[in-house]
Amino acid sequence: MATGRTHRPATRSRGIPEATVARLPLYLRALTGLSERSVPTVSSEELAAAAGVNSAKLRKDFSYLGSYGTRGVGYDVEYLVYQISRELGLTQDWPIVMVGIGNLGAALANYGGFASRGFRVAALIDADPAMTGKSVAGMAVQHADDLEKIIDDNGVSIGVIATPAGAAQQVCDRLVAAGVTSILNFAPTVLSVPDGVDVRKVDLSIELQILAFHEQRKAGEGQDDTADEAGTETPAAAAKPARKGPDGDVPAVMQA
């Protein structure tokens, strides 16, 4: 019904803004580093620098969680680690399934960053019969036919999709039907899910394209002559609105 929304709908997150939630893992990582070095307390200024954010923003973020600091001193590192972990739901163990064990899926399965937090890879699933039974990251790959049973048996509510784009929506539908309510999508496709299901996507090529945009802008900033058509505010007349397609040989892109 709903077109794939990578955005959360209205999600009145019980007072915690979405932007703040997205930064909590960042703070948590910085705090974990301090904790390992046995640093007892940290000021908002120091922690903000470690997390790469503004200190005022950090303090406001923490204010949504409660008053966990001590004025004149700062924040207790261990205490804050626990509070953020609890808020993020990392004090419990989250079983996840990974579907699509190709290059990327296998790399993700081997990635240690999951287990270090509260996540446990419960199963690796692939549709290719040739993959079934093969060991990846010390775990036997299971066939997609058993997807529903695997999810049910393990009480999985978070799924990771690393299949080719063509298979992603179908896999997504099956995951949702089986009870998964959060999906991390690595396939370059827009997923359609019903309300109540969260989807986050990670798209490698999109990130590169965004970088390319800024890179192009940087290349032509000192002396712009390239792509100067759309440069100024001049509405319309930017190019010729010719119906035809690629007639414009406006490239003129110099590079290197």
173 binds, among a copy of itself, DNA, none (CB under 5 to 8 A by kind): none
Q: Which is nearer to a copy of itself, 16 or 132 (CB)?
A: 16
CA–CA separation, 193 and 189 (whole Å): 12
* Residue number, 64 or 114, with CB nearest to DNA: 64
Q: Which of 55, 26, 23, 57 is nearest to 42 (CA)?
A: 55
Q: Give the span between the Cα atoms of 157 and 154, in whole angstroms.
A: 9
| Beta carbon nearer to a copy of itself, 145 or 252 | 252
Query: SS3 of 179, please?
Result: coil
- Alpha carbons 73 and 88: distance in angstroms, whole number: 25
Nearer to a copy of itself, 130 or 221 (CB): 221
Residues that bind DNA in the complex, under the rule CB under 7 A? 17-20, 43-45, 53-57, 59-60, 62-63, 67-75, 235, 244-245, 248
Least distance from DNA to the Cβ atom of residue 85, Å: 18
Taking CB within 5 to 8 Å according to partner kind, which of a copy of itself, DNA, none is near residue 149?
none
37 binds, among a copy of itself, DNA, none (CB under 5 to 8 A by kind): none
Whether 172 and 193 have beta carbons less than 8 Å apart is answered as yes
Which backbone phi and psi does 136 adopt, to 5 degrees?
-130, 125
What residues form the annotated binding site for NAD(+)? 100-105
